[in-house]
Chain A
């Protein structure tokens, strides 16, 4: 069965500092991997996705993520965080050939000025 673990429930970083949010997945084959962001009272917005090819993927808002098959990880990074990045971030895994997504529990990002 597919599963996603986001080890950090909360993370606080200073504005301008770098960010890395961790994501580990469990899946029997090569999955589709996603990062979504959710601002308070809003739906989920797709930041980036990995299907195949280059293991470093670029997304919107300056985010990137790296797929590491050996570690079953898909960590999200941003070199310099802005106050507007404060939100909850979800990692998700999907099966090839299907659309169903399994989400992690999320990481709440706080940005301090």
Chain B
């Protein structure tokens, strides 16, 4: 069974530029999450989708971050414009309906300079 796929693995951008990350969850998983992991901290949930609807985006900085999950499968997370403090690893995870076990991708490491 293929795991959660994310791309790119690494990205370096200048502040005020925009960036987008892509995630393909495990086939059949209805729930998709984006987490932000800042160096030295645990992952923090940014947004949770159930199919293509948003369940929780309470910690998403909506003035600069946006996410979508078209057709309830792949998802993209966008940052525009990026700030230095956005430097982090962005983890995508998915879980099956009714399951509390989330499977994580390898993450995208973003460096904003």
List the 8 shortest-distance A-B pairs measured between CB atoms, nearest first. A103-B42, A43-B104, A44-B104, A43-B106, A103-B43, A105-B42, A43-B105, A104-B42
Q: Which of A69-113 contact B (CB under 8 A)?
A: 90, 92, 94, 99-106
By the criterion CB–CB under 8 Å, are B106 and A41 in contact?
A: yes
Question: Across the interface, do B100 and A44 meet the contact criterion of CB distance under 8 Å?
Answer: no
- Are A94's CB and B106's CB within 8 A? no
By the criterion CB–CB under 8 Å, are B107 and A43 in contact?
Answer: yes
Contacts of A4 in B (CB 8 A): 42
- How many chain B residues touch A (CB < 8 A): the figure is 23
| A43-B4, A43-B91, A43-B107 given; A99·B102 CB < 8 A | yes
Flag if B106 contacts A106 (CB, 8 Å).
no
Verify B44–A99 contact, CB threshold 8 A. no
Query: Quick check: is A51 within 8 A (CB to CB) of the other chain?
Result: yes
CB within 8 Å for A106 and B42 given contacts A41-B106, A42-B106? yes
Decide: B42 and A32 in contact? CB cutoff 8 A. no
13 pairs of residues in contact across A and B, judged by CB atoms under 8 Å: A4-B42, A32-B100, A42-B106, A43-B104, A43-B106, A99-B48, A99-B95, A99-B100, A101-B45, A104-B42, A105-B40, A105-B42, A106-B40
Q: Are B42 and A90 in contact (CB under 8 A)?
A: yes
Task: Provide the bound-state CA to CA distance between A41 and B31, in Å.
Answer: 24
> What's the Cα separation between A68 and B28 when bound, in Å?
35
Specify which of A101, A102, A104 is in contact with B102 (CB 8 Å cutoff).
A101
